[in-house]
Structure 1
Amino acid sequence: MKAVKHLKHMMQIARMMLIVAGLAGGLSSAQAASEGVSQVLEESVQIDGQRLNLNGSGTHIIKRVKIFNIGLYTTKPRNNTPDLLASPGPVRLKLVMVKEVDSELMSRRFLADIRSSTTKEERNQLVYQLMALGEGFARMGDWKVGDVMTIDWSQGKGTVFRSNNRQIGETLKDDLTMHAILKIWLGDNVADNKLKRLLLGDKE
């Protein structure tokens, strides 16, 4: 029995290593279509009866590989993170996949990024939210080129995740969740300062 469990564990590790290797490799043929995908980031959207404009956009890259295009939508221009986090919203993050990604890897990476963008005190307050989000991701299939995720937040109403217009999990009725997510790309210790500047309205 122990041998079977050990074998399953080793197979899971090997599978994850192959996925990571795939992300770190060269551009796939599917990625060649990414040029057109970027056009999905429209200039404005409607949320809760309010018009949001594209504050800025860029591409999330891991080891030189483009994973998804991302746009930040706000009710008025926001050029710094404190101003954005202090706003009542609504705010939208829109992610458009330009690379096929395994659902398990997408979930693990997303949750790890949230954890790294928060303090220990904040993580203690986000235990339930992260569990709920993880369960929601687990029900999704693999992410294909052109798939769209939206993350909408309004103060007092919470955060809603959608994949191709289908809600992922339940509405997370707090403000800290979205603040933690925004800090992944807009916090003080981001992995990509260029992307941060672009989302906050800088032009290349």
Structure 2
Amino acid sequence: MKAVGSMVLALGLLGAATLPSLASAAQVVAGVTFDDRCEVAGQSLVLNGAGLRTKLILKVYAVALYLPGRDRNPGAVLAQPGPKSIHITMLRDVRGRDLSEALVKGMVANLSPRELVALQSRLDDLHATLMSAGDAKKGDVIQLDYLPGSGAHIVLGGQPLGKDIPGEDFYQGLLKIWIGEKVSDKDLKADLLGLSSR
């Protein structure tokens, strides 16, 4: 009886030890490893999902979404308070203008006319900030962080780009590029929301 009890205890401890790794594992996408956690504004964020952005048959970039808590519902993700982060690793060289225009176009496609009017000047700021970085090279890492009270904080290779773009509404618009209703890549949306069975 004592031996059985010891075995049950050992199995319980083993299960407890392996549970965190199952719940929060790093992900590898096209050779890019995204850690299970990152820190933004002094808060630890968890990896919600990661995937690959392709255009035709070309691999453009690997991307990951980090949140205060995991969620599969896009509306709930957008409504989560606190810092958030999108990590992009370029898998090929892309002209700065092409990257900027693709992101702005993806954002505009998911905005209502009223939202577009409210965000237009900040969209212009996003375009100018991305253009100031020049062309994106294979291996470049771009972070789009949301800092509460400050706004969208854009980082390239560990160096901040331009000034933070204010407004939680603006960052929600950024997230909609990948998890909005009119995304250009539904498989990638599913990956970032942790819904993919691939």
TM-score by length of 1: 0.78
Which of the residues 88, 107, 110 maps onto 1:117? Answer: 110
The structure-2 alpha-carbon separation of the partners of 1:35 and 1:186, relative to structure 1 and needing over 3 Å to count, comes to: closer
How far apart, CA to CA, are the structure 1 residues paired with 2:187 and 2:93? 23
Which amino acid in the other structure matches residue 155 of structure 2?
R
1:88–1:154 Cα contact (<8 Å) kept = no
Which amino acid in the other structure matches residue 83 of structure 1?
A
What is the match of residue 151 of structure 1? 144
1:44–1:53 Cα contact (<8 Å) kept = yes
Q: What 5-or-longer segments of structure 1 have no aligned partner?
A: 1-33
Count how many residue pairs are aligned between Structure 1 and Structure 2: 169
Which amino acid in the other structure matches residue 43 of structure 2?
Q
Q: What 5-or-longer segments of structure 2 have no aligned partner?
A: 1-28
How far apart, CA to CA, are the structure 1 residues paired with 2:184 and 2:83? 25
Q: Which moved more, 1:67-76 or 1:192-201?
A: 192-201
Question: Offset of 1:66 from its aligned partner?
Answer: 1.0
Question: Offset of 1:156 from its aligned partner?
Answer: 3.4
What is the match of residue 77 of structure 2? 84
Question: Offset of 1:103 from its aligned partner?
Answer: 1.0
How far apart, CA to CA, are the structure 1 residues paired with 2:157 and 2:109? 27
How far apart, CA to CA, are the structure 2 residues paired with 1:79 and 1:89? 17
Deviations 1:105-140 (A, max 9, x none): 111111111111211111101111011111111211
What is the match of residue 166 of structure 2? 173
How far apart, CA to CA, are the structure 2 residues paired with 1:35 and 1:202? 18
Which amino acid in the other structure matches residue 53 of structure 1?
V
User: In structure 1, the residue corresponding to 2:136 is in which secondary structure?
Assistant: coil
How far apart, CA to CA, are the structure 2 residues paired with 1:138 and 1:154? 22
What is the match of residue 201 of structure 1? 194
What is the match of residue 132 of structure 1? 125
Deviations 1:184-204 (A, max 9, x none): 110112222211111011342
TM-score by length of 2: 0.80
What is the match of residue 153 of structure 2? 160
Which amino acid in the other structure matches residue 174 of structure 1?
G
